[in-house]
Amino acid sequence: MKRKKLTPQLKFEAMFKYITASSATIVLIIMLLMFIQLTYNSRLSIEKFGLNFLFSSSWNPATHEYGALASIYGTVVSTLIALIIAVPMGIIIALFLVEISHPVVSKITGNAIELLAAIPSIIYGMWGLFVFAPFFADYIQPFLINNFGDIPFIGKLFQGAPMGIGMLSAGIILSLMILPFITAVTRDVFIMVPAVVKESSYGMGSTTWEVTHKVTLRYGIKGVIGACFIGLGRALGETMAVTFVIGNSHLISASLMDPASSIASTLANEFGEASEPIYLHALMQLGLILLLMTFFIQILAQIWVGKLKKSMGTGL
Amino acid sequence: MSVVSLLHSKASIPEELQKNEACLPLYYEHLNTPPKVSVCGLDFFYGEHQALLDNDIDIAPNKVTAIIGPSGCGKSTHLRVYNRIFELYKDQKAKGKVLLDGENIFSSKINILELRRKVGMIFQKPTPFPMSVFENVAYGLKLHYAISKSEISIKVEEALRRAALWDEVKDMLSKPGMALSGGQQQRLCVARAIAVEPEVLLMDEPTSAIDPVATLKIEELIDSLKQKFTIVIVTHNMQQAARISDFTAFFYKGKIVEFDKTKKIFTNPAQKKTEEYITGRFG
Ligand SMILES: Nc1ncnc2c1ncn2[C@@H]1O[C@H](COP(=O)(O)OP(=O)(O)O)[C@@H](O)[C@H]1O
Ligand SMILES: [Mg+2]
């Protein structure tokens, strides 16, 4: 038998390693450059406001007083609302698709959910502004305001006029946008849990609910948390949909009915009008804050998953 | 009539059992207690494919019954009927009767969660849950008993001791169950299963995924467990069946070809097929 010369393979192997390594390095370099660029381009604002930028909620282009607090607050709260709605719902839908519904139903619904994830965010924004907001203002908000507005403490969240747009609307639209993602990943995690693990849980005399929240969910917790954090990342930075429905006000209000602004919506709205260097630099600094927030949240996620692994030895 | 029914004379069946419904429980001539589990005319289907044909077998209480046979002959399928775990899959169907203490497990009066507490199962691969060693053993206790934290601790220790694992894990109860070695994980699963005080333990090739030393430990464990539990074990390993079981059933192509005392099966089988199998001529 004639033997093949193996030298070309070895060369290819070396090249392949080189290509993969350099692609990975490029990603790191791009991230670093972004950070440097954003910091450099926000230097005027950093010099002028210092740490105060983080804690001031004034945003006044006329007097050139800038503070990020209102935008940070809006970003965090709208994202929290989105997660509070989308995480439990995503997990429940995934559970239904994997454990309960007929395989044909699962397949069709599963595909529909993946399609939802592919809808561009501008569509969500337009739908939110023209369809969801009027409906919300006419039916849901009056209900919330009338029924919860007078309760001590939490009533503060539900006061004001039913305008349709505002913090809560932005949170709900965001939740719809990240729901398909969380559902799809959680479903895949549930599917990957070995049948024999579920069987041994059922075999102990557990109900479907017990199997799911005590075993299946824990088994795949790494994947589910990963999905939630990617959803979180998307919600944090989501621009178009939020800009349409959040109301774009720089006032911090306790009520979720009131208009607000997020970092991304402020950037989208105000770059065009930012003529003064200090205005531009303040916006750049907002961008820098968003980048750092996303970065630290991902690190937190890693630490959390690592801790979980130590205490329960998750499977996936 | 199956081989089993021919083996045992009906004369020795106590009167109370003879009255029992349509299906006459089969009985061992030398035992004075009724069978723990009695299977009558069991057929099993995976969709259209019939995997078990007319299985009849009696499982003696506080004994080890081994199920042997070539791979794919239906051993696991048979075992998975006893705790109705196959019902998780919509295309799987069982026909016939399985009596646990004389009561049909398919009867509508049976609470499936209670049945699965009474009939515990150990799988081929160790399946520790993603939680600590302690929580693994406490898992079933919390499902089935309303007991205090301190009682749970006592029960967990008791189960781990009975599973011959206590000394090895007592200092690492809060470590994840998955951090144990394969053999330890399997004994952890045994501890988890016996913590809820079942009556029957089903084991599906419990030692085929672990090393010889760990296997020996499990075998010793099985021997000590039969004081308290009725054990049905599927095994691929004929030496193991000969070593640890009191009765052996030989399965072939979904049928129970021969069922008798282990000694008889391995020294003087009545069926030619059984002899061929135990002498290693196929399988
Ligand atoms: N989930 C399943 N779906 C369809 N057929 C199956 C399934 N599991 C087992 N079978 C079939 O049933 C028969 C018995 O299988 P099994 O009980 O697993 O055998 P054993 O445990 O003796 O090796 C085999 O022919 C196998 O192909
Ligand atoms: Mg098997």
pLDDT digits (tens, 9 = 90+) for B60-98: 999 999 999 999 999 999 999 999 999 999 899 999 999
Mean pLDDT (whole number) for B102-107: 95
The verdict on the CB of residue B55 being under 6 Å from ligand 1 is no
Counting ligand 1 atoms within 8 A of each CB, the residue from B43, B46, B90 with the most, and so the one to mutate, is B46
Residue B269: is it exposed, middle or buried by C-beta count within 10 angstroms (0-12/13-18/19+)?
A: buried
Does the distance separating the beta carbons of B131 and A218 come in below 8 Å? Answer: yes
Q: How many folded domains does chain B comprise?
A: 1
Q: Per-residue pLDDT tens for B225-258?
A: 999 999 999 998 999 999 999 999 999 999 999 9
Q: Is residue B4 part of a domain?
A: no
Q: What CATH code would you report for A18-311?
A: 1.10.3720.10
DSSP string computed for A165-203: -SHHHHHHHHHHHHHHHHHHHHHHHHHHS-HHHHHHHHH
Does the distance separating the beta carbons of B192 and A205 come in below 8 Å? Answer: no
Q: Is the dihedral of CA A184, A187, A189, A194 positive or negative?
A: negative
The per-residue pLDDT for A22 is: 93
* Banded pLDDT at A7 (limits 50, 70, 90): confident
Least confident segment among A25-39, A99-113, B99-113, B167-181: A99-113
What range does the domain containing B120 cover?
62-88+112-278
Q: Is the ipTM of this complex over 0.85?
A: yes
CA distance B32 to chain A (A): 31
User: Which ligand approaches the C-alpha of residue B72 most closely?
Assistant: 1
CATH number of the domain where residue B203 is located: 3.40.50.300
The per-residue pLDDT for B153 is: 96
Return the CA Rg of chain B: 19
Q: Is residue B228 part of a domain?
A: yes
* Pairwise pLDDT comparison (A113 vs B18), residue with the higher score: A113
Q: Contact, A288 vs A71, CB < 8 A?
A: no
The per-residue pLDDT for A6 is: 77
- B interface test, pick of A99, A100, A101, A200 with most B CB neighbours within 10 Å: A200
How many beta carbons lie within 10 A of that of residue A30, not counting itself?
Answer: 10
* Banded pLDDT at B273 (limits 50, 70, 90): very high
Is A150's pLDDT higher than 60? yes
To the nearest whole percent, how much of chain A has pLDDT over 70?
Answer: 99
Is A135's pLDDT higher than 80? yes
* Pairwise pLDDT comparison (B4 vs A32), residue with the higher score: A32
**Helix, strand, coil shares, percent, chain A, to 5:** 75, 0, 20
Dist. CA A48 → ligand 2 center (Å):
73
Q: Is residue B24 part of a domain?
A: no
* Pairwise pLDDT comparison (B17 vs B133), residue with the higher score: B133
Mean pLDDT (whole number) for A127-153: 91
User: Which ligand approaches the C-alpha of residue B51 most closely?
Assistant: 1
Q: Contact, A308 vs A314, CB < 8 A?
A: yes
Q: Contact, B180 vs B169, CB < 8 A?
A: yes
Find the helix or strand (DSSP H, E) in which B103 lies. strand B103-104
The verdict on the CB of residue B46 being under 6 Å from ligand 1 is yes
Average pLDDT score over chain A: 91
Type of residue at A147: N
Is B221's pLDDT higher than 50? yes
The per-residue pLDDT for A151 is: 87
Phi, psi (deg, nearest 5) at residue B143: -70, -40
Mean pLDDT (whole number) for A27-38: 94
* Banded pLDDT at A316 (limits 50, 70, 90): low
Q: Per-residue pLDDT tens for A284-299?
A: 999 999 999 999 998 9
Q: Contact, A308 vs A218, CB < 8 A?
A: no
Q: What is the number of CB-based contacts under 8 A between chain A and chain B?
A: 79
